[in-house]
Structure 1
Amino acid sequence: MESAFSQVIERLHNRRFSVANNAQGLSDARTVFEYFVEGAAVWGTYAGGHIRMGNQVGRVTGPDSIELLYQCITTDGEIRAGWSRGVVGVDEAGRTTLRFVWGWLSGAEGGGESSYVEAAA
């Protein structure tokens, strides 16, 4: 039986992503994100570039949308935490894409928009 969240599960579970655009954030082309999905639950890890290690937890909120809370420690030893709301899509090459609106909750102020693309296997 296909759930309302099938597209998100299929497109995110056990997949890795790299930054396509994140002008206001800490992650960059060297940062790799890995996601897992079970039912409506989403979680993952990320590291690389300015990020020593980070993790995220959230939920699927619609057929192509998720919301996350994230936290990380930077290579400079700073601890940061934030929120994001994202849309899961597909580019012309068939790769999964993610677009987020996000903001900091702790360790920094402000926020922005970012986009990610599925990394080659």
Structure 2
Amino acid sequence: MQTSSHLHERLNNRRFTVVANTQGLSGSGTVFHYQVDGDSISGTYQGGRIRMGQQVGRVTGSNTIELLYQCLTTDGELLAGWSRGTVGVDLGGRTTLSFVWGWLSGATGGGESHYIELPL
């Protein structure tokens, strides 16, 4: 599946911050940065309790993605997980991301999280 130009435009080289993530480690100090190449997605994240993190994933639909992620926390924990997300747009025209996610290694459980695009 090739990504639509809309999804590429909404994610590629864009930065996001957390607006809600009650069960997760990332918070308002965490910044996510995505790159999109065709239907492939890569990303990095850091800030708050996250010392460094990486993501890899793919486009699964016209406005849906799935990612695998791994991170090293500021406490020295090494964690990995999965997420499935929806890409949207808020009333102000900023890109939004909504995820359902779970841990694969280093922790248990999961939750939902929501992100919003940071201004350029």
- TM-score band w.r.t. shorter chain: over 0.9
Cα offsets for 1:26-48 (capped at 9, x unmatched)? 00000000000000000000000
Residue type at the aligned position of 1:102: W
Is structure 2 residue 82 aligned with structure 1 residue 119? no
Please report the RMSD computed on the Cα atoms of aligned residues, expressed in angstroms: 0.8
Contact 2:3 2:39 (8 Å CA) reproduced = no
- Structure 1: which 5+ runs fail to align? none
- Give the TM-score, by structure 1 length: 0.96
> Which structure 2 residues correspond to residues 22-101 of structure 1 after superposition, within 5 A?
22-101=21-100
Q: What is the aligned length? A: 119
User: Whole-Å Cα distance in 1 between the matches of residues 7 and 60 of structure 2?
Assistant: 10
Residue type at the aligned position of 1:34: H
SS of the residue aligned with 2:6?
A: helix
Instruction: State the 4+ residue runs in structure 1 displaced beyond 4 angstroms.
Output: none
The alpha carbon displacement at 1:4 in A equals 5.1
> Which structure 2 residues correspond to residues 94-109 of structure 1 after superposition, within 5 A?
94-109=93-108
Identity of aligned residues (%): 66
Contact 1:5 1:60 (8 Å CA) reproduced = no
Cα offsets for 1:6-29 (capped at 9, x unmatched)? 221110000000001000000000
- Structure 2: which 5+ runs fail to align? none
Residue type at the aligned position of 1:77: G
SS of the residue aligned with 1:11?
A: helix
